């Protein structure tokens, strides 16, 4: 049995029944990493010593006949933008090449408490800026389904690790689609939670009003298990929320479910085969008894432009902390300013520099009102569109991405074409809504994902709806 191919639930059952040990499960994953990572480039740091010590601790508990939790002894990969105490955290950038995290992110603390086994830190687009995995300072991650194609981004390594069985599950981040889009390209499940449901403490900041920690796994059930372990209010993150006591009832009957299909998401530019596969999957929900309703999100066409003003503006502010004085790369100059400039020039890649310049421009005197303020007003209209639609329907279903995975280098010289990869995902980050991408078919060997969008705090509900599809095709 290839233990690295198991889901969280299957691995947990095997550990409980003593069919294998946590060390054997971890070794199976580490062996897969050693064999495949040189080709896939999913991991930047492999933490085998940490992983095996965590696994041995779980085996000791099993030997002592103690009850183990569902995540105990299960190997997980962590995106390199999330801090793990004592482990290198690069965020995919040369500017943090030798940075060692001095503390655990809240999500990592919770995973460690749950007994998770951390096998390594995964590759990513630099600071989360990218939709392909090609913007890492440490080389592109390759799609396990076709090594000539991208994984999607920015959680490229996390998605590839799960898809290639180099991890049982992984944490990523999602600022404009960074967990859902690579999940779609790699044929796995990816969750972007409601903004605030998972603490951002210890997540290296990119665009603070959009950033969330995402989860990538082989099934929706696995996502649900991890989500329940790491969600919740955190005193170290003022934007985090605890909704468990007042959460909207996530129970529903499929025959009463009203599914909205936004007409603006099925327009020119979408790959016809992607549309066909997505509509077929939505049709399966209809066969189960759900009602399908065409809806309109009139401001959807402005979401991408709005996102690519707000996100660079926040990035330019957040990334100003990398000055070579406090931490990370430090280049000397004849004076302080030259030191700053040399550090940033050498440390930041092309895409990061491009977004810093755009962000600084839209926040500058004379342009703030014309760009940034206007984008914030449009953001409000986009949120209101979703609020109105959710008065009529329970969830929305859309493609996750307009195309399957494209070839490495295909869009590298065309940033606008690259940015269009976020066309169906970025609006959820602007509105703070939860979304999950599930695999629903393939074009040749390339996976296609369906995005299920819920109301604010309906994370549990969309995962239950995702599980319905998985159960119907098993």
| Reported pTM | 0.96
Please give the pLDDT value at position 415: 77
Please give the pLDDT value at position 412: 78
Rg of the chain, C-alpha, whole Å? 21
Q: Is 154 a catalytic residue?
A: yes
For 293, the token pair is 């309703």
> pLDDT by residue for the chain (474 residues), tens digit each?
799 999 999 999 999 999 999 999 999 999 999 999 999 999 999 999 999 999 999 999 999 999 999 999 999 999 999 999 999 999 999 999 999 999 999 999 999 999 999 999 999 999 999 999 999 999 999 999 999 999 999 999 999 999 999 999 999 999 999 999 999 999 999 999 999 999 999 999 999 999 999 999 999 999 999 999 999 999 999 999 987 655 555 678 899 999 999 999 998 789 999 999 999 999 999 999 999 999 999 999 999 999 999 999 999 999 999 999 988 999 999 999 999 999 999 999 999 999 999 999 999 999 999 999 999 999 999 999 999 999 999 999 999 999 999 999 998 777 777 777 889 999 999 999 999 999 999 999 999 999 999 999 999 999 999 999 999 875
Please give the pLDDT value at position 248: 57
Selecting among 21, 28, 79, 93, the annotated active-site residue is: 79
* DSSP state for residue 44 in the 8-state scheme: E
> In Å, how far are 91, 194, 212, 311, 435 from 206, measured between CA atoms?
10, 17, 10, 8, 20
Please give the pLDDT value at position 146: 98
Please give the pLDDT value at position 1: 77
Selecting among 178, 179, 427, 437, the annotated active-site residue is: 178
Selecting among 154, 155, 184, 437, the annotated active-site residue is: 154
- Give the homologous superfamily in CATH for domain 1-474: Amidase signature (AS) domain (3.90.1300.10)
CB-based contacts of 430: which residues, under 8 Å, 6+ apart? 210, 303, 306, 307, 310, 379, 382, 383
CB-based contacts of 100: which residues, under 8 Å, 6+ apart? 86, 87, 88, 89
Q: What is the pLDDT of residues 170-223, one digit of tens each?
A: 999 999 999 999 999 999 999 999 999 999 999 999 999 999 999 999 999 999
Give DSSP secondary structure letters for 403-446.
SSPPBTTSSTT-HHHHHGGGTTTHHHHHHT--EEEEEEEEETTE
Q: Is 179 a catalytic residue?
A: no
Please give the pLDDT value at position 249: 56
For 238, the token pair is 């003022």
Question: Is the dihedral angle over the CA atoms 321, 325, 327, 333 positive or is it negative?
Answer: positive
Q: Residue 189: which of 226, 218, 156 has the closest Cα?
A: 218
Q: Is 79 a catalytic residue?
A: yes
């Amino acid at each position: 049995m290839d233990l690295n191919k198991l889901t969280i639930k299957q691995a947990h059952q095997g550990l409980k029944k003593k069919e294998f040990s946590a060390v054997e499960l971890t070794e199976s994953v580490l062996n897969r990493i050693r064999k495949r990572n040189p080709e896939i480039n999913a991991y930047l740091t492999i933490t085998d010593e940490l992983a095996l010590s965590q696994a041995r601790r779980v085996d000791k508990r099993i030997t002592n006949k103690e009850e183990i939790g569902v995540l105990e002894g299960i190997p997980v990969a962590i995106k390199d933008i999330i801090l793990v105490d004592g482990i290198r955290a690069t965020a995919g950038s040369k500017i943090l090449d030798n940075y060692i995290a001095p503390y655990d992110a809240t999500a990592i603390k919770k995973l460690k408490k749950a007994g998770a086994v951390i096998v390594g830190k995964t590759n990513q687009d630099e600071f989360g800026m990218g939709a392909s995995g090609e913007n890492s300072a440490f080389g592109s991650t390759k799609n396990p389904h076709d090594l000539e194609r991208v994984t999607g981004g920015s959680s490229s390594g996390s998605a590839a690790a799960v898809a290639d069985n180099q991890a049982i599950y992984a944490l990523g981040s999602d600022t404009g689609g960074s967990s859902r889009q690579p999940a779609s390209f790699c044929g796995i499940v990816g969750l972007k939670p409601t903004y605030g449901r998972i603490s951002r403490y210890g997540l290296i900041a990119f665009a603070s009003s959009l950033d969330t920690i995402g989860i990538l796994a082989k099934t929706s059930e696995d996502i649900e298990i991890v989500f329940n372990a790491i969600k919740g209010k955190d005193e170290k993150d003022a934007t985090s929320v605890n909704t468990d006591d007042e959460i909207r009832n996530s129970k529903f009957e499929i025959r009463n479910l009203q599914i909205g299909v936004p007409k603006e998401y099925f327009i020119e530019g979408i790959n016809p085969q992607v549309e066909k596969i997505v509509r077929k999957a939505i049709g399966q929900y209809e066969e189960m008894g759900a009602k399908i309703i065409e809806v309109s999100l009139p401001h959807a066409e402005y979401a991408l432009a709005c996102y690519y003003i707000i996100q660079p503006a926040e990035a330019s502010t957040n990334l100003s902390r990398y000055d070579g004085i406090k931490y990370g790369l430090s280049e000397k100059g004849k004076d302080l300013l030259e030191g700053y400039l040399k550090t940033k020039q050498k440390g930041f890649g092309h895409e990061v520099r491009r977004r810093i310049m755009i962000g600084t421009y839209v926040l500058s005197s004379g342009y703030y009102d014309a760009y940034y303020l206007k984008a914030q007003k449009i953001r409000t209209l986009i949120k209101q569109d979703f609020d109105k639609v959710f008065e009529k329907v329970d969830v929305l279903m859309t493609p996750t991405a307009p195309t399957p995975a494209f070839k490495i280098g295909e869009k590298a010289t065309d940033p606008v074409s690259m940015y269009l990869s976020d066309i169906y995902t970025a609006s959820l980050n602007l509105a703070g809504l939860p979304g999950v991408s599930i695999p629903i078919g393939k074009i040749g060997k390339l996976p296609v994902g369906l995005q299920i969008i819920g109301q604010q705090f309906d994370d549990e509900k969309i995962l239950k709806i995702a599980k319905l599809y998985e159960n119907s095709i098993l």
